[in-house]
Structure 1
Amino acid sequence: MSDILKNSLKSRLLKIQCHFTWNLLEEEVDIGIMEIKLYDQIQFLNPERKYRLYNLLAYTNHLRGDYEEAIAYLQKAEEQIQEIQSDTTDARRAIIYGNYAWMFYHMNHFIKGYTYVKKAQETCKNLESSQRQNILLFEIYSEQGFSLLAFNGRHSERAKDCFQRALGLDPENPELNSSYAIAVFRLEGYNCLKKPLDESFLLLKRAAELNPQDTVIKVLLGLKYQDFNNSKEGLLLIEEALRATPEFPYLLRYVAKFYRRAGMTDEAIIVLNEAVRLNPTSSHLNHQLALCYKKKILALKDSARKAKLQFQSTRTYTQEIIEAVSCATVHLEKAVEYKKTFVIAYIALASMYGRANQYEKAEEIYHKVLHMDNVTQEQKQELHLNWANHELYRRNWEPEAIRHCKAVIKIKCPTVFRGYAIKQCKILAEEMISKNPSDNTGNDLLDFIHQHDEKNIAETDNYYQALQLEPDNEE
């Protein structure tokens, strides 16, 4: 009998619009990191948005199997919409009822599940039979878009589509305009070779006008001004947002990004240290801090070279480089501790171990990443290129460096890593031929390059641009 009840309930549940039917889990998500982001936003976002965050926290607790906590968050969502009565209150309740029904289904409380299915269906039916049908559609599109955007960055295209549909029903809605602009902004970051980089600019400007208290929108607009070489205007927006919400980790990471791209590395480090203090277990923030220290290392090495050319002491620079390498290493170790699948942080950590002459640790990390299940083709290229540089510049072992460069080139993705590997192989081949024209090794290496689809090399300039714009983009 219970199987009949269960199957009958599930067939009804699949027809309900709520978080359980929106395919939020199309890709692997780190639930712990997701929940930290949601907790941060609860503290700083407009109270009217909190019920959506509670809905999502209920869903993430279901994923962890903590149904009591999940139910508690659904109750908080109900309380929140009760406090802020609006035309969309009933539509919001319908979504929450759907979540309750699914939760009780997973808890094997099928009678309670049926009760909430009936509540959801009756609420939707009442809305559809009145002049408020558009309100139900508006809330479904809005809630689904918000959930997709919050849950996984790779859902941005789907989120954008939801926001467009909702805006068709309420074009002047401030929250929707903000969410739509953020979705487009993220898409430009992920697909900046395929989409124009200025599409989000006007959307962010409009969102800032409609919702002047939204500090996240101000910071993203500041970054767009920076993209268009107007850092002065961007800095005004960044500092204005920072004054309004100085302890919002989600916002601080974008502030730091602006500072880092503006060459204000020390300022970026200060901001990120504050963000890490507020959210010490954030793998992303620790990774960003490491990127800042890496940039500082490169600047210090450049200063040391200039000082050496002028016969000045480089002792101070050397000590500062050692300290920066140590700081970067610590934060990268934390990044991979808090996110075990953080591939690019592992690669950066191996590189930093190499800088610190900890060669065994570096090679241990390279081998570990090589055998991880979640490594993309592009990340494999980055891995082998870093490994090649490690062999060439740290261990002075040219044959191994060439082997890893070849591994990069064999992967056909037209990335900046592939372009660098090809250039590196050409340089090494030409040096071999110059040193010993009778040795065929150099000519064989050139033949290898020509055999492996050199037509895509020109595309690497675009990928270099992408890397400059989004050097910390996990996606």
Structure 2
Amino acid sequence: MSDQEKDLLKVKLDQLQCHFTWGPQKENIDLDDLQQRLEDTIQTNVKSRGRSYNQLAFVNCLQGNCEEAIQNLQEAEKILKENHEDEFEKRIIVTYGNRSWVNYHMGQLTETQSYLDKLERICQQFPDASRYTAMIPEVYGEKGWSLLKTAAQYYEDAKECFKKALEEDADNIEWNFDFATVLSRLETFSGTSESYKPPQSMKQLRRVLELDPDHAEAMVLLALKLQECNQTEEALELVEGALQKSPDLPHVIRYAAKFYRLKRDVGKAVDLLKKGLEITPNSTILHHQIGVCYRKKLLSLNKKPQSKRPSDPAFQQRAELIELCKYHFKKAFEPRPLTFIRAQLDYARICSLNGEYAEAEEMYNNLLQLEGLRPENRQEICADFGLFELREKKSESKAITHFLEGMKVNYNSKERKRCRDNLMTITERHLRRNGRDSKAHGVLGSMNQLDGKKREAIENFAKASELDPDNEEYLSALCELRLSIEADNDCPNKS
């Protein structure tokens, strides 16, 4: 095959709907962790095996294991034939797309074309399909699931996929549950539209249980939402029922453990999580949740008078809990350095609590180097790093820098508000001591500017410049703001 024919083949491949064209690529996926999670899902969740093998093939191909990827795709095809015989051609589109790509990466270009030919024949039966792919519910559903499985920055896209799938097949249990899951997760993220509404996921989870009253994962997820709304009696019944129906399903164990931890039954939560680790020993989520449980015990212990004598039982218990927290948080984030931000922040907080400032500072600096973070994650890193500099390192100037960096992320979240509130506390304290503090007025000017309050920003920068006339930063900010206001006045219809 000539280079021109190969390039033409690549153009065709780029038109496919499959894991190789859906966005997440090698640079922004924790591949080893995703591989482990997919293998765990294959082991423990029969319903998800076909799509898990499909995504695992993609991961293996990115890692250079193309022969294993072919085996994964053969398993996916076998499962689809066994479980979805009546709608096999609808379900196989993504698998054949992946197979085309893997063969292409292996240099098997004739095989690549043969799978493109298969896709072309399948797509002819769908009126709105393109030559090689059809955006039908089965494709939207698998795309949504793969994005949901990859990382938090893809949840919004996953939600839209499930909505599309349900538009044509409103009673599909699988997509209804996946839609409920992504809604539930987005509701926990500060700044998302879901976080400002009454939980939409509750209605969606009840819909799943209408379609399948024995859906244990839906039961425990609904229980957590009910717990948030203080409907504890129904929540407890759901958790107990789910554990009876699916006592060995890791997701059920994990959500049930969270329920008991929030119920302040930390011992029961730890017991459940340890049972989960027996089933999936490499689960990063379970390790993180165990760390959170031990931290809860540690913080409770810290409320009591502390002894500095190593022979004291309370001193020993505190030291043991700190090591347990660090161990489990580390087990959670080491396989997921790009995506498990919360576990890394939790580890840094424990280091800070234990006076291990160099390790905490290194963790914060590493986190700030990451790209492609959700905006509230970056804001949280800045807020935490700022408080660390303020409280532990006693560096107010560095703290201010980090809080302002958090505010620069233009995303309305509680983490941005946390950065702003800390800056206000600092500036108000300075101005109470000295109303002519130029730095305090400069910080207020920066905050006003980041909040879009240009005239207030000009007032504060003008005051700061009056008090510190040689400060080029204040003069530059003033000039920029005045030019911006002049431009706004020249364009009165500008939104």
Matching residue of 2:359:
361
Aligned-pair CA distance for 1:46: 4.0
Aligned-partner Cα distance in 2 for 1:187–1:390: 28
1:429 deviates by 6.6
Task: Name the SS for the 2:86 alignment partner.
Answer: coil
- Who is 1:340 aligned against? 337
Q: Which amino acid aligns with 2:446?
A: H
Instruction: Render the CA deviation track for 1:201-221: whole Å, top value 9, x for unaligned.
Output: 111101012123322111111
Deviations 1:360-380 (A, max 9, x none): 433443444445556676555
Q: Deviations over 1:314-368 (max 9, x none)?
A: x654443332212112222323432333444333323322322333433443444
Tell me whether 153-162 or 101-110 shows the greater mean CA deviation: 153-162
In the TM superposition, what are the counterparts of 1:64-143 in structure 2 within 5 Å? 64-126=63-125, 137-143=136-142
Matched residue type, 1:173: N
CA distance in 1, matches of 2:87, 2:435: 72
- Identify the range of structure 1 (372-381 vs 255-264) with the bigger mean alpha-carbon deviation: 372-381
Counterpart mapping for 1:19-418 below 5 A: 19-25=19-25, 28-47=28-47, 49-126=48-125, 137-190=136-189, 193-195=192-194, 196-302=197-303, 304=304, 317-341=314-338, 342-372=340-370, 378-379=376-377, 381-390=379-388, 393-394=391-392, 397=394, 400-412=395-407, 413=409, 415-417=413-415
Quick one: percent identity of the two aligned structures? 31
Name 1:463's counterpart in structure 2: none
Cα distance in 2, alignment partners of residues 374 and 140 from structure 1: 26
SS in 2 for 1:190: coil
Paired with 1:169 and 1:373, the residues of 2 have a C-alpha distance of: 36
For 2:366 and 2:332, the matched residues in 1 are separated by: 16
**Alignment partners' CA distance in 1, 2:59 and 2:384:** 36
Give the drift of 1:451.
Answer: 2.4
The structural deviation recorded for 1:297 is 1.9
Question: 2-side partners of 1:84 and 1:41: how far apart?
Answer: 17
Alignment correspondent of 1:311:
none
Q: CA deviation at 1:393?
A: 4.7
Cα drift, residue 415 of structure 1: 5.0
**Paired residues of 1:384 and 1:405 also in contact (CA < 8 A):** no
**Distance apart, 1:452 and its partner CA:** 3.4
CA distance in 2, matches of 1:12, 1:240: 49
In 1, Cα distance between equivalents of 2:436 and 2:243: 55
Q: Per the alignment, do residues 422 and 234 of structure 1 end up closer, same or farther by CA in structure 2, a change over 3 Å counting?
A: same
Q: 1:421 to 1:445 in 2, by over 3 A?
A: farther
Match in the other structure for 1:12: 12
Contact 1:94/1:119, CA 8 A, preserved across alignment: no
Distance 1:112 1:185, change over 3 A: same
CA distance in 2, matches of 1:211, 1:286: 30
Provide closer, same or farther for how the CA distance between residues 15 and 425 of structure 1 changes in structure 2, counting only shifts above 3 A: closer
Query: Which moves more between the two structures, 361-370 or 218-227?
Result: 361-370
Whether the 8 Å CA contact 2:190–2:413 is kept in 1: the answer is no
After superposition, what is the alpha-carbon deviation per residue over 1:56-113, rounded to whole angstroms, capped at 9, x for unaligned? 1112211212111111011111211222353211222343322222221121111111
Deviation at 1:222, TM superposition (A): 0.9
Are 2:382 and 2:406, in contact at CA under 8 Å, matched by a contact in 1? no
Structure 2: distance between partners of 1:388 and 1:157: 29
Which string of whole-angstrom CA distances, capped at 9 and with x for unpartnered residues, describes residues 277-311 of structure 1? 43333333323322222222222223x15x99xxx
CA distance in 1: counterparts of 2:438 and 2:349, whole angstroms: 29
Give the whole-Å Cα distance in 2 for the aligned partners of 1:4 and 1:404.
57
**Is the 8 Å Cα contact of residues 300 and 321 (structure 1) preserved in structure 2?**
yes
Contact 1:144 1:159 in 2 (8 A): yes
CA contact (8 A) 1:91 1:139 kept: yes
Secondary structure of the structure 2 residue equivalent to 1:237: helix
Q: 1:184 to 1:363 in 2, by over 3 A?
A: closer
Whole-Å separation in 2 of the counterparts to 1:426 and 1:17: 49
Q: Report the counterpart of residue 462 of structure 1 in structure 2.
A: none
State the TM-score, normalizing by the size of structure 2.
0.77
> For residue 467 of structure 1, what is the aligned residue in structure 2?
none
The change in CA–CA distance for 1:371 and 1:104 in structure 2 (over 3 A counts) is closer
Offset at 1:36? 2.0
Distance 1:455-1:204 versus aligned 2 partners, 3 A rule: farther
Contact 1:220 1:254 in 2 (8 A): yes
Distance in 1 between residues matched to 2:10 and 2:299, nearest whole Å:
58
Equivalent-residue separation in structure 2 for 1:137 and 1:180 (angstroms): 16
Which amino acid is the alignment partner of residue 66 of structure 2?
Y
Distance 1:192 1:54 in 2: 34
CA-CA distance at 1:421 after TM superposition: 5.3
* Range with bigger deviation, 97-106 or 220-229: 97-106
Partner of 2:446: 452
Name the CA shift for 1:12/1:418 in 2 (closer, same or farther; >3 Å). Answer: closer
For 1:37, give the aligned amino acid: R
For residue 193 of structure 2, give the secondary structure of its aligned residue in structure 1: coil
Q: Secondary structure at the match of 1:212?
A: coil
Offset from partner CA, 1:89-148 (integer Å, 9 cap, x none): 12223433222222211211111111111112112224659xxxxx98232233333333
